[in-house]
Amino acid sequence: MAIVGQNWSALPVPYAIELPDRVRKERYFDPDFYQMEVELLWPRVWQMACRLEEIPQRRDFVEYEVLDQSIVVLRTDDMGVRAFQNACRHRGVRIVEGRGTCESGFTCPFHGWCYGPDGRNTFVPQARTFAEHNLQPEDINLTPVRCEVWGGCAWINLDDDAPPLRPCIEPFATIQDAWKVESLRTERWYACRLPVNWKLAEEAFVEMYHVVETHPQLVIPGRYPPRDGRAIDPRTLIDAEIHYLRTMSEGMDGMVHANDVRIAEGLRDIELPADPTLAMSIWQRQLNDAVVSWHRAAGSDVPDLNDLEAQGINEPMGYCFPHYFVLPMYSAASSYRFRPLGPEETLMEIWSLARFPEGREPEKPTPPEPWECDDPRWPPIPTQDFSNLPRQQRGLHARGFQYMRLSERAEGHISNFERTVDGFVAGLPYERLLPALESINLNPLDRPVVDIDL
Ligand code: FES
Ligand SMILES: [Fe+2]
């Protein structure tokens, strides 16, 4: 790890964030800004490359593509994970496409150079026709890429000098460990091609300010005790809460698992005190306990949800710079990943994750065909979010529009995130970037603008 002792001088960042609550529009389409992200951000960050259930058996592999880079992520014989650059050391052909299982290693389809499942070159046809300096043993193995495992996923980093994974994804990792994210498995997996910049796409999912206008069905009358102390039947609150859980479950395809909604419905008529706030907190505790007991009885690994509540980490969302989110709810979670395909195009994936008893996990998940953002098959909540995004990307190009103005209290994460992007684009050393990462790898919802210490 080389985070100190280098002679860095910050590069000038075009369209840098100057006032923390204003974001210049060019950051979302200017080709030069995008190119700086390509060169200075993406090759220096830990990226979620695949879920481990995509490579369940020895020698299973998947190709992870980001920008013009392709990385092979491979399950090793001792059930570890390794990664290699997907380029034959002869003339550069990608040795794999997509995914599969390499029983006896990889053979390049062009001239037949062979590599073992450990990446070592095992055969060069007509080797005598090459000069010795071109066949030096250490120089003809597949080029390794840094790879670590955390949270049920394999992560890669293209920079050999980057710090290890864990300090770059804290405190997100510690919080999600308490949620036991590593024992979640893919129940469904979707992908969307969005005609917008990758940062714009992410920023549509990191604040609650849009919920009232964009998702009016989630604003459920009677869900909170009245502020003026008026008497309210606790039953009304519980009905509203169950209605909310069902709307989230159906609207997001599993962010609240249908089985957890069923458990909540089973608790509709339990005895409760007349005080609505007390009644609600008792009911929530009972629901947490009922969900946990149901899963433990079935043999699944699930955290004690009331314990998470007591620790203050039962937050509905965890953000991991630059492109990975986990949104845990009761026993299940949604998870998102964003990858740029161009200055104004993004691939967004959504996983519905759930818990299963050991040995009864679902089959290896099949990667989804990306749908367009207006595809009628999207569930209602993403349909609503996706309907705004292309309009926003087009709106940014208006001649009279110069910068976004952020609510410093409700949309602070967007500012904190964009300023961290500036830190990477300026080429700052990791010792300067780590404190910034630590202040944004948190629940982004309702985060204020903070001093990210860059
Ligand atoms: S490019 Fe791979 S064997 Fe020639
Ligand atoms: Fe939304």
Strand, coil or helix: what is 374?
coil
CATH 2.102.10.10 residue window(s) in the chain: 48-157
Residue 222 contacts by C-beta under 8 Å, 6 or more apart in sequence?
232, 236, 237, 239, 240
Q: Measured between alpha carbons, how far is 267 from 409 in angstroms, rounded to an integer?
A: 36
Residue nearest to atom 4 of ligand 1 (CA): 111
CATH topology of domain 48-157: Rieske Iron-sulfur Protein (2.102.10)
Ligand 1 and 90: CB distance under 6 A = yes
SS3 203: helix
Ligand 1, residues 72, 110, 129: which to mutate, most atoms within 8 A of Cβ? Answer: 110
Round to whole Å and give the CA distance between 186 and 192.
17
State in Å: Cα 252 to ligand 2 middle.
10
Instruction: Provide the residue-wise pLDDT of the chain in tens; the chain has 454 residues.
Output: 333 334 456 889 999 999 999 999 999 999 999 999 999 999 999 999 999 999 999 999 999 999 999 999 999 999 999 999 999 999 999 999 999 999 999 999 999 999 999 999 999 999 999 999 999 999 999 999 999 999 999 999 999 999 999 999 999 999 999 999 999 999 999 999 999 999 999 999 999 999 999 999 999 988 877 777 777 888 899 999 999 999 999 998 878 999 999 999 999 999 999 888 899 999 999 999 999 999 999 999 999 999 999 999 999 999 999 999 999 999 999 999 999 999 999 999 999 999 999 999 999 999 999 999 999 999 999 999 999 999 999 999 999 999 999 999 999 999 999 999 999 999 999 999 999 999 999 999 999 999 987 8
Calpha distance 85→21 (Å, rounded): 39
pLDDT of residue 6: 42
Give the dihedral sign, CA 405/411/415/417: negative
- Our CA dihedral for 446, 201, 391, 379, rounded to 10 degrees, sits at -90
d(CA 270, CA 92): 66
Burial of residue 23, with CB atoms counted within 10 A of its CB: 0-12 exposed, 13-18 middle, 19 or more buried = buried
The residues near 404 (Cβ < 8 Å, ≥ 6 apart) are 22, 23, 25, 414
Ligand at shortest distance from the CA of 385? 2
The pTM of the full predicted model, rounded to 2 decimals, is 0.95
Q: In the structure encoding, which two tokens stand for residue 152, read together?
A: 């049920």
pLDDT at 4: 38
Residue nearest (by alpha carbon) to ligand 1 atom 3: 111
Where is 440: in which H helix or E strand?
helix 430-440
Q: Strand 371-372 to strand 184-194: parallel, antiparallel, or no bridges (unpaired)?
A: parallel
